[in-house]
């Protein structure tokens, strides 16, 4: 598989329809630009500029700060080898954004990963959605008042006519202890963020969530899994599990309120 295809899966996998959106999410998509604005979502969730190729960088930064600032929001700006101008990272840093390192990574879905025997992975349906969302919100540190809108957002994704979003939970002794998601794209799967509750880390739950999503993709004839992983958390783990790094990027964050 050629490098360009792998990189495109990493870059474009999280864009487009199908995963979590809110009724108030505004998507701005045009050549060289992909942006989400969601006034009701906290902590930078669904508020980001995922793709930017612009000539007037300073004006775009001013506009973004004003747009998110008007709603008192924190937002993210993803910067990688695709971004123009090439000095956008330095410009964002000068404007007070904080950065963390990311890696774009891929694996063949036929890659075998050993999983622990006491972890059960289930796909999320209406029946276990409330428990899933409780663990999702707790794990990501979201306030309790986000649970009801999160249930609604997940239901929209689950019931979508051309469904591409799938959610997975890990159970130990019957209780959900970890959550994650997967987007099925044309020819590949994109792995979304996973979190394991503190008390259950270090015993292979994340490994089991990766293995289950690879299996899910194999069963649908998809040969590649792609993701963007944080250097400080999951990137070294994914490398250890056999994923290949195909690009390096940064996420810049600022509280625009
Ligand atoms: C990141 C996270 C999901 C890991 O979950 P976990 O269930 O504790 O991970 P596992 O026990 O399955 O470990 C996965 C593998 O990575 C390995 N690993 C752990 N830290 C590592 C490191 N720094 N470098 C390389 N490998 C590492 C583990 O040894 C394990 O492999 P092994 O079982 O062959 O030994 C969990 O810490 C978490 O929820 N963090 C907060 C949310 C987050 O940051 N999510 C990831 C970004 S979206």
pTM above 0.85, yes or no: yes
Q: Is 51 helix (H, G, I), strand (E, B) or coil?
A: strand
CA distance 171 to 179: 9
197 Cβ closer than 6 Å to some ligand 1 atom: no
Domain that holds residue 15: 3-103+250-255
Q: Which tens digits make up the pLDDT trace of 96-143?
A: 999 999 999 999 999 999 999 999 999 999 999 999 999 999 999 999
Per-residue pLDDT tens digits for 180-228 = 999 999 999 999 999 999 999 999 999 999 999 999 999 999 999 999 9
Give how many domains the chain has, as a whole number. Answer: 2
One domain for residues 238 and 131: yes
The reply to whether 22 and 82 lie within a common domain is yes
Q: How far is the CA of 202 from the centre of ligand 1 (A)?
A: 7
Does the Cβ of 47 fall within 6 Å of ligand 1? no
Q: pLDDT, tens digit, for every residue of 22-55?
A: 999 999 999 999 999 999 998 888 999 999 999 9
Distance 221 CA to ligand 1 centre (A): 27
CATH code (residue 195) = 3.40.630.30
* Residue 80 sits in the same domain as residue 138: no
Tokens of 142: 């979201």
Q: Do 222 and 166 form a contact (C-beta atoms < 8 A)?
A: no
Q: Is 206 in the pocket of ligand 1 (CB under 6 A)?
A: yes
Q: Closest Cα to atom 15, ligand 1: which residue? A: 237
Residue 61: its pLDDT value, please? Answer: 98
Q: Is residue 122 located within the same domain as residue 218?
A: yes
Q: Residue with structure tokens 């600032």?
A: 69
SS3 at position 41: coil
Please work out whether the CB of residue 50 comes within 6 Å of at least one atom of ligand 1: no
Query: Are 124 and 199 within one domain?
Result: yes
């Amino acid at each position: 598989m050629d490098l360009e295809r792998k990189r495109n899966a990493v870059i474009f996998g999280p864009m487009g329809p199908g995963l979590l959106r809110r009724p108030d999410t505004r998507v701005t998509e045009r050549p060289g630009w992909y942006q989400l604005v969601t006034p009701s979502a906290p902590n930078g969730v669904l508020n980001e500029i995922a793709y930017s190729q612009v000539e007037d960088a300073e004006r775009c930064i001013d506009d973004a700060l004003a747009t998110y600032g008007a709603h008192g929001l924190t937002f993210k700006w993803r910067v990688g080898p695709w971004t123009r101008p090439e000095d956008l990272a330095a410009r964002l840093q000068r404007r007070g954004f904080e950065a963390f390192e990311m890696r774009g990574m891929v694996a063949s879905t036929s890659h075998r990963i050993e999983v622990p025997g006491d972890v059960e992975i289930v796909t999320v349906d209406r029946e276990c959605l409330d428990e899933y969302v409780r663990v999702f919100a707790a794990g990501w540190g979201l306030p309790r008042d986000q649970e009801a809108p999160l249930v609604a957002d997940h239901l929209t994704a689950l019931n979508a006519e051309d469904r591409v979003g799938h959610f997975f939970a890990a159970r130990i002794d019957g209780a959900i202890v970890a959550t994650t998601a997967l987007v099925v794209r044309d020819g590949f799967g994109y792995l979304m963020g996973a979190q394991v509750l503190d008390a259950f880390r270090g015993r292979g739950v994340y490994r089991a969530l990766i293995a289950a999503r690879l299996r899910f993709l194999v069963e649908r004839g998809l040969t590649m899994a792609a993701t963007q992983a944080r250097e400080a958390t999951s990137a070294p783990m994914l490398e250890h599990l056999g994923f290949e790094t195909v690009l390096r990027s940064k996420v810049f964050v600022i509280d625009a309120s």
